[in-house]
Chains A and B, each alone.
Chain A
Amino acid sequence: MPSSMNDERPGTRLAILAEGLYLANLLLIPGIAFLVLLALWRRHRDAPPLARSHLQQTLSASLWAGMLLIVANAMILLLGGYHGPYTWAIAITYFTMAHSTLILFGMIGLVRALAGQCWRYPLIGRPLPPDCPQ
């Protein structure tokens, strides 16, 4: 169950930052936010388990997001043809669904980070380490 609002677990701020960067990469500054996240992940290898877990989850989820949003859409356009109306119907609907789902995952990740809890992204997240507070 949740911790008290005033008690902050070690690594909470870094965990919140990681989730914020994941969402910023999807919503505001794609690419730039990912590079900052990557730099944080490399720099904080000895961070507390909570922060390390959120850094790993968001980095892995961002890579998956790149695959699902850019590579998969490029495949749809390549296979379906740029001038095919059905191609665009599938590509736009798929992109909107996939993007929204990834944002919702990030929102839940942010909520967990705010509460000082670890969280594994469904389907695309790596397994959590055993010492991670949940």
Chain B
Amino acid sequence: MKYQSQSVAKLYFIAAIGLFVGQILFGLVMGLQYVVGDFLFPEIPFNVARMVHTNLLIVWLLFGFMGSAYYLVPEEAERELVAPWLAKLMFWIFLAAGAATIVGYLLLSYSDLAKLTQDDLLPTMGREFLEQPTITKLGIVVVALAFLFSIGMTILKGRKTVVNLVLLIGLTGLAVFFLFSFYNPENLVLDKYYWWWVVHLWVEGVWELILGSILAFILIKTTGVDREVIEKWLYVIIAMTLITGLIGTGHHYYWIGTPAFWQWWGSIFSAMEPIPFFMMTIFAFNMVNRRRRNHPNKAAVLWALGTAVMAFLGAGVWGFLHTLAPVNYYTHGTQITAAHGHMAFYGAYVMIVLAMISYAMPMLRGRRAANSPRSQVLEMWSFWLMTVSMVFITLFLTGAGILQTYLQRYSDQPLDFMTVQDKISLFYWLRELAGAVFLIGLVIYVVSFFAGTDEPEVAEKVEVDA
């Protein structure tokens, strides 16, 4: 660790991992509720389990992005972080607000939570993924502003690189687009129109900038390839991300009451959305293939390569699968969406945060560059268990989604929703099984932090050009 203030990242990473475990546990509860409808009812109804599962995902990824920024920015800017005390204070505020919100979801009915938090003063609750009480949303804004101040001032006072500037643009976009969660018009079409400005422009817009910059940082550090080469790739990738992703928002506007031209715009631009992910995969493998050093942290390199591949598959291929308007007419909101969502979030965002944690944590815990071989072997086992089980989760949900589409929407004699749910229950059982394997992988991941802590790390080998 080059700068003392980078240590604040450790807090954020620990919280991220803890919340990740919570997210997966609720995912398993919900997965079981698909096939055993009254499992844990009325203590944890399905809608609450789903809300906790998705909200925990968003919150822990935000912790992960913030931790990554607090680690990455001082090193790129070549100076200590501005106001590290603020970063620590905001961590505790964010954690307390997040925990209180989750406890609120679990202990109160949603309407009681709305009353308790005075939602009627500025109503923002009740929308998917943005279910948080208004007061929590205001807290998120305060945390985001303090975070941007700390990160932004550090970059302004220090060295400006493509990596930290792209990261700053991504993080600023994240904060700005979140403000649309406060706009809650009565017209349902307008409501959905702007709701996607948070949800889509986060995950298919500015978050991809954050992903690209973190991936570039890890590749610069672990491969020794010239920064200029990596930065040129990053420019092209983020340009393609914004060109395709911004207007690609139109693929959410097909059947919600917006003008019909969105079916063309949405189809054409979102069909191009796999391009930046395709380039990212070529980029990551190209840099590792041309590496000038064999970094001792092999687990971090594995996570980085895995991010590129799984993001291409989950966000690129599985996104394309149902993005064209004539296809989406039938598949909209089926389990095909769930298949895409699972693999895309895991590939693009979960894995990049885990890659950054894998790269940074050894230094944050006082090691020179990497964990012991025993710890890395466990971590790589967890990588394969989680990644392979996520591939199976996606495949089972895809099978379920295709059957659902056919039986419920395409067939000459369409069946009702619940009858179809019964018919695809085998896929839900298989998905649950794959989810249990994912949990085993996650447990091994956590255990890897405590394995071989007293053992030395492998020495780095510098590669000689052929």
Contacts and interface: CB of A to CB of B under 8 A. Distances in A.
Interface in A12-41: none
A76 B73 CA distance: 53
A96 B321 contact: yes
B289 A85 contact: no
Interface stretch (A52-60, A65-73, A105-113, A123-131): A105-113
Nearest to A97: B395
Interface in B56-70: none
A104 B64 CA distance: 28
A89 B309 contact: no
Contact of B289 (A92, A97, A103, A112): A112
A104 B399 CA distance: 22
Contacts of A112: 289
A19 B395 CA distance: 28
B238 interface: no
Interface string B394-407: 01001100110011
Contacts of B398: 92-93, 96
A89 B289 contact: no
Contact of B403 (A86, A110, A111, A114): A86
A2 interface: yes
Given A104-B309, A115-B290, A4 B465 contact: yes
B466 A2 contact: yes
The A contact surface, by secondary structure, is helix
B278 interface: yes
B121 interface: no
B199 to A, nearest CB: 24
Contact of B282 (A1, A3, A86, A110): A110
A1 B288 CA distance: 11
B135 to A, nearest CB: 43
A85 B403 contact: yes
Contacts of B464: 1
A99 B229 CA distance: 30
Interface of A: 1-5, 85-86, 88-90, 92-93, 96-97, 99-100, 103-104, 107-108, 110-112, 114-115, 117
24 contacts: A1-B465, A2-B289, A2-B291, A2-B463, A2-B465, A3-B466, A5-B290, A85-B402, A85-B406, A85-B407, A88-B402, A89-B399, A89-B402, A92-B398, A92-B402, A96-B398, A97-B395, A100-B317, A104-B281, A107-B285, A111-B289, A115-B286, A115-B289, A117-B289
